[in-house]
């Protein structure tokens, strides 16, 4: 084996980012010069594929593999000869297992080279939606202060319960430890444990952050800080609500963590993380600090597997506090019309906009949730929790 510059660069980049393909040590080698391309363009490394982007065949999903290689090269994909047109190559591969490695092999005057990607087949995929609410703290303070007879005497939880009763929606509330005005979770009474437990099939609590401020609390801090805050919140959820109410986080405050934290999150049960994966001021943001290639991919796909850390990233599809009632159906219709974004609706909002005392209070926030949930329900999407199964679906 002989690693010439292009191969070495690709190898290093793959190790550093996990983005451009599989790094398999000295198996990934090149004998061409830097100007000789060899790259699988589609599917993307880490792609989550379902029947919308391939053809179902007995026991498998047939997908198209597209890439580029030197026009002189003979290219095979998983052993089958690829069709060539200029630098492009194309081939069909049938996925038969949950994970498949796709290998493009180029043979030519400069020797033999290969490029690999790995993809997931979401075999039992069904249209589904999840509803996650971030930045929760005020409702817990409200219940603590008012000492209601029932959790659902708090208008916010009542609104969520009404939506659940009408549509079967499942909600995950991502919570803070403290509101920083004298209230923290250690004060929350445990006398509602029975009610929490009775509703645990549709209402979960999860860690989000220690508090609303500072912004981006875990963007540049070691995983130990994140884990310590997580434990503090989880201990209280289990104390006042019970284990059945707790779920591992699927959204960390600001969706920004150190890359090294992803492995720690996985070790502690995280399998899915949602973010915006949006371009802002010339850079990709709210993206768990993923590299540009993966962030851009996620900005136009439902999900992407990070094989290095065992975490699937999901793109948030709708932020109710930012979306007017009239814009909700058109937003969802556009997503449903795109095979890459139609299968999983990641619905989302923030608690604070429900509260009249909050300066940016959204008076029709509840109506926005109802509009979004009614739309997905009427279009055949089933309510799921992302922490269950594969992105809420059967595995």
Chain contacts with Zn ion (rule: CB under 5 A):
134-135, 253
Which residue number, 134 or 370, has a Cβ lying nearer to Zn ion? 134
Which residue number, 39 or 253, has a Cβ lying nearer to Zn ion? 253
Measured on CA atoms in the order 38, 41, 47, 52, is the torsion positive or negative?
negative
- What minimum distance in Å lies between the beta carbon of 294 and Zn ion? 21
Q: What is the DSSP string of 268-324?
A: TT--EEEE--EEETTEEESSTT--HHHHHHHTTSSEEEETTTTEEEEE--EEGGGS-
Which residue number, 120 or 185, has a Cβ lying nearer to Zn ion? 185
Residue 166 main-chain phi, psi, to 5 deg: -80, -40
Which residue number, 319 or 325, has a Cβ lying nearer to Zn ion? 319
- What minimum distance in Å lies between the beta carbon of 274 and Zn ion? 11
> Nearest residue by C-beta to Zn ion?
253
- What minimum distance in Å lies between the beta carbon of 98 and Zn ion? 32
Residue of 173, 268, 269, 253 whose CA lies nearest to 219? 253
Q: b/e per residue, 213-238, with b = 16+ CB within 10 A? A: eeeebbbeeebeebbebbebbbebbe
How far the first Cα of the chain sits from its last, in Å, is 39
- What minimum distance in Å lies between the beta carbon of 150 and Zn ion? 27
- What minimum distance in Å lies between the beta carbon of 200 and Zn ion? 23
- What minimum distance in Å lies between the beta carbon of 317 and Zn ion? 17
Q: What is the C-alpha separation between 213 and 209, in angstroms, rounded?
A: 9
Q: What is the C-alpha separation between 55 and 40, in angstroms, rounded?
A: 20
**Which tokens go with 85?**
């047109």
Which residue number, 214 or 380, has a Cβ lying nearer to Zn ion? 214
Which residue number, 65 or 255, has a Cβ lying nearer to Zn ion? 255
């Amino acid at each position: 084996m002989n690693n010439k510059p292009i191969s070495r660069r690709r190898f290093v980049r793959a190790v550093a980012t996990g983005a451009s393909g599989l790094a398999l040590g000295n198996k990934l080698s090149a004998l061409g010069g830097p100007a000789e391309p060899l790259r699988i363009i589609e599917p993307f490394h880490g792609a989550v594929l379902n029947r919308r982007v391939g053809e179902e065949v007995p026991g498998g999903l047939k997908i198209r593999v597209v890439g580029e290689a030197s026009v002189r090269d003979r290219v095979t994909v998983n052993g089958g000869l690829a069709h060539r047109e200029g630098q492009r190559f194309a081939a069909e591969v049938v996925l038969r297992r949950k994970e498949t490695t796709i290998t493009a092999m180029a043979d030519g005057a400069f020797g033999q080279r290969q490029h690999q990607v790995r993809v997931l087949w979401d075999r039992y995929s069904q249209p589904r939606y999840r509803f996650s609410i971030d930045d929760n703290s005020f409702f817990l303070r409200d219940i603590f202060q008012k000492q209601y007879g029932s959790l659902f005497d708090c208008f916010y939880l009542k609104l969520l319960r009404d939506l659940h009763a009408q549509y079967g929606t499942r909600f995950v509330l991502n919570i803070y430890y403290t509101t920083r005005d004298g209230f923290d979770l250690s004060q929350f009474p445990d006398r509602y444990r029975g009610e929490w437990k009775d509703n645990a099939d549709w209402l979960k609590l999860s860690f989000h952050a220690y508090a609303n401020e500072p912004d981006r609390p875990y963007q540049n801090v070691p995983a130990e800080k994140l884990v310590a805050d997580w434990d503090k919140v989880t201990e209280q959820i289990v104390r006042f609500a019970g284990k059945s109410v707790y779920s591992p986080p699927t959204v960390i405050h600001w969706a920004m963590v150190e890359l090294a934290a992803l492995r720690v999150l996985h070790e502690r049960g995280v399998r899915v993380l949602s973010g915006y994966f949006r371009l802002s001021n010339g850079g990709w943001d709210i993206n768990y600090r993923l590299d540009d290639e993966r962030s851009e991919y996620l900005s136009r796909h439902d999900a992407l597997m990070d094989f290095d850390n065992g975490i699937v990233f999901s793109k948030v599809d709708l932020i109710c506090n930012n979306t007017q009632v009239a814009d909700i159906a058109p937003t969802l219709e556009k997503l449903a019309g795109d095979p890459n974004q139609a299968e999983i609706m990641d619905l989302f909002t923030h608690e604070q906009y429900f509260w009249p005392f909050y300066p940016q209070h959204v008076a029709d926030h509840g109506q926005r949730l109802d509009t979004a949930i009614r739309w997905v329900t009427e279009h055949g999407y089933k309510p799921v929790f992302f922490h269950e199964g594969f992105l809420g679906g059967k595995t």
